[in-house]
Structure 1
Amino acid sequence: MKFNFKEIATASMVLFAVIDILGSIPIIIGLRSKVGHIQSGKASIVAAIIMVAFLFIGERILNLIGIDINSFAVAGAFIIFFMALEMILGIALFRDDQPESASIVPIAFPLIAGAGTMTSLLALRAEYQVENIIVAIVINIIFVYLVLRSSKKIEKVLGDTGLNVIRKVFGVILLAIAVKLFTTNIHELFV
């Protein structure tokens, strides 16, 4: 096992920006008011299981349909790029409708472990050691759990302006990561 603090930190930041749990607080609060109690622990554990499973079997699924990891990473870079634009510009390019249920769907999937997260995991796997990505997943799931548990308090403390600032900052970070993923993996496709 090769634990690398830089890889863990970068992967954690990528996942934090993609999951965007702070930006999802309004959605979480809306769901809580509709369905009542949200099981924070259950949602976090299910999301972690989905993410780790996809980290290991996602590449096999791609191989089964004839797509290499670098091609998927380039495609993922585009998705991350558009997600970053959404965060920075405050526009909605793509968003799932909010179902009526809560803890597992839509919070664990697709809010936490959605398409952007899956794409990011495979893109990260193309560049980083698996154990570092798993540590980054665990760090993010702990943070997600804490945010889910205290979403009402966080909303009161940050307010709309604070949430918007955080969202824009992570949007810029995500944009830079998308450019790096694209340039690294597009080069690998032509080598």
Structure 2
Amino acid sequence: MLELAISAFVTLFVVIDPVGLAPMYGALTREHTEAQRRRMACRGVIVGGLVLLGFALGGEALLNAIGVSLDAFRVAGGILLFVVAFDMVFERRTERRKRQVEAAHAADTQAGAAAMLAAESAFAAPELLEEAFEHEHEDVSVFPLAIPLIAGPGAITSTLLLTTRAGGDWVATLLVLGILALVLASTLGALLIAGRLNRLIGETAAAVISRVLGILLAALAAQFVLDGAAELVVGVIRQGA
């Protein structure tokens, strides 16, 4: 049980990456007020958590419905996590997330500018003015914060792999869900202190931490692949016998 708890915490913490999300969230909400940042951080973590919870509780049934075995999913999920780890070690993941943040911010700016331009028309209606001010500070809690920055493919895969690893034991499953809640709580805390955390850690230290965690995730991904492949081989041998 302790091994599952440690594995779950390391995997989810590395994949969701609260420390890495903090500076990106700060950049994404740099034009919002402090109250708006807090509100969007809470909403984003809740939405992302609900998505991950849905896959944790219903993911196995979904796999059964489409005819995919858990062992095959372990192999595929391990490979996907290894790709995520590879990106972390070589800083590709950070650059991709930055591009997502920049794209979302650009879309927000364009929407706000279009709405303000319409509102400045001589015949602009009051509802257009209200829409302009709403677009000026677009809500980013669902996209891109909740999906895909928090509940991305890696986090969804990790959550499903960990709950299936519990083997139907409700105590072990609740342990994994508790670890998930702990990681999401740490993510919320990191988002709420994004500015101070970024100044405290610094870019160099954050890059070093990301690379070390990436190596750990690569090892866990390799273990997922080995476990799944071993079970698949055993299954084939049993069928042939």
Same fold (TM over 0.5): yes
Number of aligned positions between the proteins: 188
Q: CA deviation at 1:148?
A: 0.7
**1:168 matched residue in structure 2:** 211
2:76 alignment counterpart: 75
State the partner residue of 1:142.
Answer: 185
8 Å Cα contact 2:18-2:190 kept in structure 1 = yes
2:25 equivalent to 1:28 = yes
Give the structure 2 partner of residue 7 of structure 1. Answer: 4
Deviation at 1:34, TM superposition (A): 5.1
**1:152 matched residue in structure 2:** 195
Pick from 126, 130, 153 the counterpart of residue 164 of structure 2: 126
Say which one has the larger Rg. 2
Query: Where does the alignment leave 5 or more consecutive residues of structure 1 unmatched?
Result: none
Q: Secondary structure at the match of 1:67?
A: coil
Where 2:73 maps in the other structure, the secondary structure is helix
Q: Does 1:97 align with 2:100?
A: yes
* Alignment-mate amino acid for residue 59 of structure 1: E
Listed one character per residue, the Cα deviations across residues 20-75 of structure 1 (whole Å, up to 9, x for unaligned) are: 12122332122112555332222122222111111011111122211112111111
Contact 2:23 2:195 in 1 (8 A): no
Counterpart position of 1:187: 230
- Return 5+ residue gaps in structure 2 as ranges: 109-138, 167-171, 235-241
Residue in 2 that maps onto 1:57: 58
Q: Which amino acid aligns with 2:12?
A: L
Please, what TM-score do these two structures have when normalized by structure 1?
0.90
d(CA) in 1 for partners of 2:206 and 2:57?
33
Measured in 2, the distance between the counterparts of 1:78 and 1:17 equals: 16
Residues 74 and 227 in structure 2, CA contact (< 8 A), matched pair in contact too: no
User: Is the CA contact (8 Å cut-off) linking 1:70 and 1:126 kept in structure 2?
Assistant: no
Deviation of 1:155 after TM superposition, in Å, equals 0.3
From 154, 163, 175, the equivalent of 1:116 is 154
- Segment of structure 1 superposing worse, 156-165 or 4-13: 4-13
Q: CA deviation at 1:134?
A: 0.4
Structure 2: how far apart are the matches of 1:72 and 1:12? 20
CA distance in 2, matches of 1:181, 1:28: 31
The residue aligned with 2:13 is 16
Larger helix percent: 2
* 9-18 or 128-137: bigger deviation: 128-137
Displacement, 1:90?
1.6
The residue identity in structure 2 corresponding to 1:61 is L
- The alignment partner of 1:33 has SS state of coil
Percent identical across equivalent pairs?
28
Give the 5 Å matches for 1:37-48: 37-38=36-37, 39-48=40-49
